Amino acid sequence: MVDIDGVVEAVQRIIATQKEAPTSAEIASIVREHAGVIISNEDIVTVLRRLRSDSVGVGPLEALLATPGVTDVLVNGHHSVWIDRGRGVEKTDLDLGSEDAVRRLATRLALTCGRRLDDAQPFADGRISRDDGSVLRIHAMLAPLAESGTCISLRVLRQARLTLDDLIHNGTVPEDIALALRNIITQRRSFLVVGGTGTGKTTLLSALLTEVPHDQRIVCIEDTAELHPSHPSTINLVSRQANVEGAGAVTMADLLKQSLRMRPDRLVVGEIRGAEVVDLLAAMNTGHDGGAGTIHANSIAEVPARMEALAATGGLGRMALHSQLAAAVDIVLVMKHTASGRRLAQLGVLQGNPVTAQVVWDIDHGVYEENEATAWLMH
C-alpha cells in the first residue's frame, strides 16, 4: 500500500531543491521514482492533487471560498470545518484528513502573509490578496493552544461596490428608510455604522458614499482596502503592518494625519479600532463635515461607551471624548444578522453632553415619535 503522505512530503522536498518549477509530467516521474513501491496512475493523480492543494491558494478550502455568499471559513481541527454565508455558521462535510495536514496548511498560509508560525510563535495573522480582487484576512493558531487542533480563520474581504439602490433591491435597506439615508449624505451629517463582525457595515458605508456629490473629494482610510464606492473622486489609503524585523508599520492614525493635508471634503475611516478615533473626531470638529466610520458595537446604546474605550487608547479622557463626540457625530446606523440575512436594523441620533443615544427607527417598530432633533431625518 502506498504511503501517500510520505510520498507527498518526499516530492515536496525534492521540488524545493530545484531551481525551476517542474512540469506535471516531471512531477509524475518524481512520484514514481520515490514511491518505494509500484504506484498506480490513480495514486499518482491523488499525489498530484495533494501537491497542488498544499501549494496553491488555500488548498482544500478553495471550494468553500467559491461557494456563493461565503464570508468566513472556519477550521476547528481537521474534522470540523464551518462556513458563514450571512445566516450564522454552518458545518460542512469537509474533512482535512489529519492534524498534520491542517498544521501544514496553516504554516503555509502564514508564510504567504510573511508571518512566522511554529511552536515558538504558535499564532499568526495576515492578509493575502487574490486574483479576483478580494482579500483574505487569515488567522491561525496551532495546537495544543487550540485544544481541538490547529485552527484557521479565513475572512473574505471583497471590495464593497454596491450602491444604495442595490441594497434596497436585495432587502438590506428598507425602501421607506432610503430617504433618511440620502438626507444624511445631502445634509453632510457625520455618521457611524455599527454592528458585529460580518454584519455588512462596510457594504452599507460604501453604498452611502456613492451618494456623495461628485464635486466632493472622499479620502478613505482602512487597514484592508474594502471601500470602493462608485465615486470618481475617492482616494484609498491603506495601513501597513510591521515587517518581520518589527519595522515599517504605518498605522491608521498616521494615515489620518496625512489625509488632512490631501484636501479632503469627507474623511472616512473604514474601521475605528483605537487611537485613530482621536484624530478623526478632531478632524470632524475642524471643518470636515460629513465624515464617517464603522465600529464594532451591538446597538446604538453601546456607542458612547465603546467610543470612550477607543478614545482612552489615544489618551483622550471621558469628558473630552464626550465633548468631541457631541460636536462631531450626528447619526448612528446599526447593521445586524437576521434570519433573512444582513439588514439595517436601527437608525438613531446622538444627543447631549455627555452623549446619549436615541433610537429614531428600528426594523421591528418602524419610526419612533419625531422631535425637533429628528424631524429632518425622516423628511
* Residue-by-residue pLDDT tens, the chain, 379 positions: 566 667 766 766 676 566 666 676 777 777 777 666 667 777 777 767 666 666 557 888 988 988 888 889 999 999 999 999 877 889 999 988 889 889 988 988 888 887 888 898 899 888 887 777 778 889 999 999 999 899 999 988 776 678 999 999 989 999 889 989 999 999 999 999 999 888 889 999 999 999 999 999 999 998 877 888 989 999 999 888 777 677 888 988 899 889 989 999 999 998 888 888 888 888 888 778 899 999 998 888 899 999 999 999 989 899 999 999 999 999 999 999 887 788 999 999 998 889 988 888 988 887 776 666 566 676 6
Separation of alpha carbons 102 and 125, rounded Å: 16
- What distances in angstroms separate CA 36 from CA 43, 46, 84, one per listed residue? 13, 16, 43
Cα gap 361→349, rounded to integer Å: 10
The CA R_g of the chain, rounded to the nearest whole Å, is: 25
* pLDDT at residue 374, as a whole number: 65
pLDDT of residue 76: 95
* HEC assignment per residue over 211-232: CCCCCCCEEEEECCCCECCCCC
Domain 57-158, second-level architecture: 2-Layer Sandwich (3.30)
CATH of 164-378, one of 3.40.30.10, 3.40.50.300, 3.90.1150.110, 3.40.50.970: 3.40.50.300
Which pLDDT value is given to residue 134? 75
Report the pLDDT value the prediction gives residue 18, as an integer from 0 to 100: 65
Per-residue pLDDT, 8: 67
DSSP helix/strand/coil, 184: helix
* pLDDT of amino acid 162: 84
DSSP category for residue 177: G
Angle between helices 201-209 and 178-186 (to 10 degrees): 60
Cβ contact 84:198 at 8 Å: yes
* Residue matched to cell numbers 457611524: 192
Q: What pLDDT does 73 receive?
A: 94
